[in-house]
Amino acid sequence: MSYTEILELRTEHRISQIKLAEYSGYTPAMISGWELKKSAPSQEQIQKLSATITSILINEKENGLNIRKKRIQHSGKPKGETPSPIVSADDYIERMSSVNYAQTHYTELLNNMSTTTLDNPPRAIALFSGCGGMTLGFEWAGFNVLGHVEIDIAANKIYSANFPASSLLGTDITKVSDAEVHGWIERFGSIDVIIGGSPCQGFSLAGKRNPEDERNELFQHYLRIVNIIRPKVFIMENVRLMTSMKDSDGNLFIERIMNGFNSIGYSVNYQYMNSQDYGIPQCRDRVIVVGTDVSLANNYIFPTATHSNELIRTFRDAVVDLPELESGKKSDDPLHWAVSHPYHVIEWLKDVPEGKSAHENKNPALRPPSGFNTTYKRLIWDEPCSTISTNFSMISGCRNVHPTSTRSITIREATRSQSFPDSFAFFGKWGDIRRVIGNAVPPLLAKAIADSIYTQYFKSDN
């Protein structure tokens, strides 16, 4: 069988790259690379992929079971539990009302965070709003976020449930007309701040880093809307690698962005900001771009780090009060449940100490057949967790394994590591929930930026 035939089989039977990766032992990046013809699998790898697909199809057809459950049954281990999907914000709130954890200082801080009361709150709109991480941070700082634009349906539902006063102004930003933007001004009056960050997959190492990715050009619509509204300040967030990405002409995207906003009368600066430096128990390195109207007297100064060295918050700070879970188990919290992992993967990882990878096992039989030593790797309790990506539930992902339990991190552990309070309602399909969490701006980081913007440009107005 050729790899082209394997790809046709995978596509025909709707077997995802992630599923094929999980059951074959190869990484999603390897499979993606083969399918994009960036590299070619060996004959041995092709045979293994062919056998894996055949096994998946036979098990699903004859037994009505997926390969994961069958492996667990054959191992003599109990079946994992699969929680029912959360279907509404009301259901989430009702289920969370009965959950009482002994909170840590960090979770108590998040759960008791309230909106700062300002006499004359700056008025803002959010572009590429996602589920609302940046909006939440700006609201905590006292800003009034009037409306938002977001194309992701699941993210919009979560956003609207948590920010009912914010109006959905559009979905596809490329189809928001200039006339509609002028209508926002007629509706809301002056808008002081625009916040948001266009999708990062075109720039991220987790993506394909394709200079022709259409998403890389979405900032042009951000620029267009800023030029019409003329806010005092705008804020954009993206992955750090955006600053080194070039377009097909060899020009740096960050220079194109800065030159574009300079041309319409904005002074633009950017800085790398890591979430762990601002009280978030996660190593998440991002570039923040801030533009200010040239009529403003002062250039923007980024906030200084508040939680370096001994003040840094750790994964333990975020999750130590949560019930211990192993693969396939759940708790009363609708977001704190563990994915059921294949028995052979659990065998690879069960004796791996925190901070180490299954690739480092002394016994070669207990090492994954492919990947790098950043995969199948445990987090460290007393350090910030790694970047929460959209695939944090994949035990084969980059540093996604719990420090001591043999499983990937749960959705609740991810929301706390992103600095969302437990009261923030996440609902819908599990894949959608994970995606919007992984794409979100940590609210505490957004608040640090919002506080500094208010102090520098709006405080004297009160």
Q: What's 169's domain CATH number? A: 3.40.50.150
Mean pLDDT of all residues in the chain?
87
Query: What tens digit of pLDDT does each residue of 334-356 get?
Result: 999 999 999 999 999 999 999 99
Residue 165 and residue 60 in one domain? no
Q: Which domain holds residue 46?
A: 3-64
* β-bridge mates for residue 408, sequence order: 401
- Asked, for residue 343, whether it belongs to a domain, the answer is no
55 occurs within a structural domain: yes
Give the DSSP letter of residue 392.
T
Closest CA to 418 of 398, 401, 434: 434
pLDDT at 302: 97
* Pair (153, 277) in one structural domain: yes
This prediction's pTM: 0.81
Assess if residue 387 is contained within a domain. Answer: no
Active-site residue, selected from the candidate residues 131, 200, 283, 398: 200
Longest CA–CA separation in the chain, Å:
72
**257 or 420: which leads in pLDDT:** 420
Pair (254, 124) in one structural domain: yes
Cβ(274)–Cβ(246) under 8 Å?
no
Contact criterion met (CB below 8 Å) for 327 and 341: yes
pLDDT at 198 over 60: yes
Task: Look at residue 275 and tell me if it is in a domain.
Answer: yes
Start-end of H helices in 238-334: 253-262, 315-319
pLDDT of residue 310: 82
pLDDT at 72: 36
pLDDT-derived band at 73, boundaries 50, 70, 90: very low
Determine the pLDDT at residue 58: 59
Residues 106 and 19 grouped into a single domain: no
Residues 50 and 134 in one domain: no
Helix (H, G, I), strand (E, B) or coil at 292: strand
**pLDDT, tens digit (0-9, with 9 covering 90-100), for 226-280:** 999 999 999 999 988 888 877 777 788 889 899 999 999 999 999 999 999 999 9
- Please list the residues that pair with 245 across neighbouring strands: none
Number of domains into which the chain is organized: 2
Per-residue model confidence (pLDDT) at position 249? 76
Has 385 been annotated as catalytic? no
191 contacts 185 by C-beta, under 8 angstroms: yes
Indicate if 168 and 258 belong to the same structural domain: yes
The string of DSSP letters for 127-173 reads ES-TTSHHHHHHHHTT-EEEEEE---HHHHHHHHHH-TTSEEEES-G
- Same-domain pairing of 58 and 204: no
**What average pLDDT does range 189-209 have in this prediction?**
68
Coil, helix or strand for 38?
A: coil
What CATH number corresponds to the domain at position 28? 1.10.260
Q: Please, which pLDDT band fits residue 216 given cuts at 50, 70 and 90? A: low
In a domain, 91, yes or no: no
* Domain presence at residue 376: no
Whether 145 is covered by a domain: the verdict is yes
115 & 177 share domain: yes
The conformation of residue 90, written as its DSSP 8-state character, comes to: H
Indicate the angle between helix axes 153-162 and 430-439, nearest 10 degrees. Answer: 80
Same domain, 181 and 108: yes
| Same domain flag for 262 and 206 | yes
Does residue 397 sit within a domain?
no
Percent of the chain with pLDDT over 90: 63
Kindly state whether residues 116 and 244 are assigned to the same domain: yes
Q: Are 166 and 135 in contact (CB under 8 A)?
A: yes
For residues 151 and 254, state if they share a domain. Answer: yes
